[in-house]
Amino acid sequence: MKDLSMHIMDILQNSTRAKAKNITLEVSEDYSTDTLTLVFKDDGCGMSEEMVKNVINPFFTTRTTRKVGLGLPLLKQNAEMTNGSLNIISKEGEGTIVTAVFGLTHIDRPPMGDLAGTMVLTVAAHPEIHFVFHFVRSNSKRDVNYILDTTELYEALDGVSLQEPEVMNYIKEMIEENIQ
């Protein structure tokens, strides 16, 4: 089964393929409602109403290299298995919001996997895109509220390339420290 970071990679790829200039991902773990919510927002090409309806059907895709698109249907299936849901709001020429809700402590909830690694790889692969990652955890023990904004990241890197493996690893470790 796919872990959540693999789903995240998939959905972020949809946004990059849609030619988004700005992509936001919010990951929030809320212990009071027992939910883990992923909200993806992009300003890419968007989808028509009909397309949004079709897109959660596994036999629909605009890909020409492969016949079936599976990213969104699989995410929906995995979310619903944990009593969660998938919701898509989109407007042609404006952008898309994909919201996936999982039962946080549900036995079938896929593990998060390598979220920090997924973020760094996605950012490094698309230096032209402005990403904002927001990680929120409301927990009685330790609250987390962490934002990674690539505009600030590139400023801090001051010309040092994120493509360098050591730099990538350093940023990945920084993210891990902030969200653990």
Q: Is 83 left (phi over 0), alpha (psi -120 to 50) or beta?
A: left
- Interacting partner of 47 out of Mg ion, ligand ATP, none (Cβ under 5 to 8 A depending on kind): ligand ATP
Interface mask toward ligand ATP for 100-139; x: CB under 6 A: ----------------------------------------
- Would you say 3 or 34 has its CB closer to ligand ATP? 3
Contacts 24+ apart (CB under 8 A), 171-178: 171/120, 172/116, 172/117, 172/119, 172/120, 173/116, 175/115, 175/116, 175/119, 175/120, 175/133, 175/146, 175/148, 176/116, 178/135, 178/144, 178/146, 178/148
Q: Which residue in 42, 43, 116, 137 binds ligand ATP (CB under 6 A)?
A: 42
Interface mask toward Mg ion for 11-40; x: CB under 5 A: ---x--------------------------
Q: How far is CA 63 from CA 74, 77, 80, 173, in A?
A: 16, 21, 25, 35
Q: Least CB distance from residue 88 to Mg ion, whole Å?
A: 12
- The binding site for ligand ATP (CB under 6 A) comprises 10, 14-15, 18, 42, 44-47, 55, 61-63, 69-73, 96
- The binding site for Mg ion (CB under 5 A) comprises 14, 71
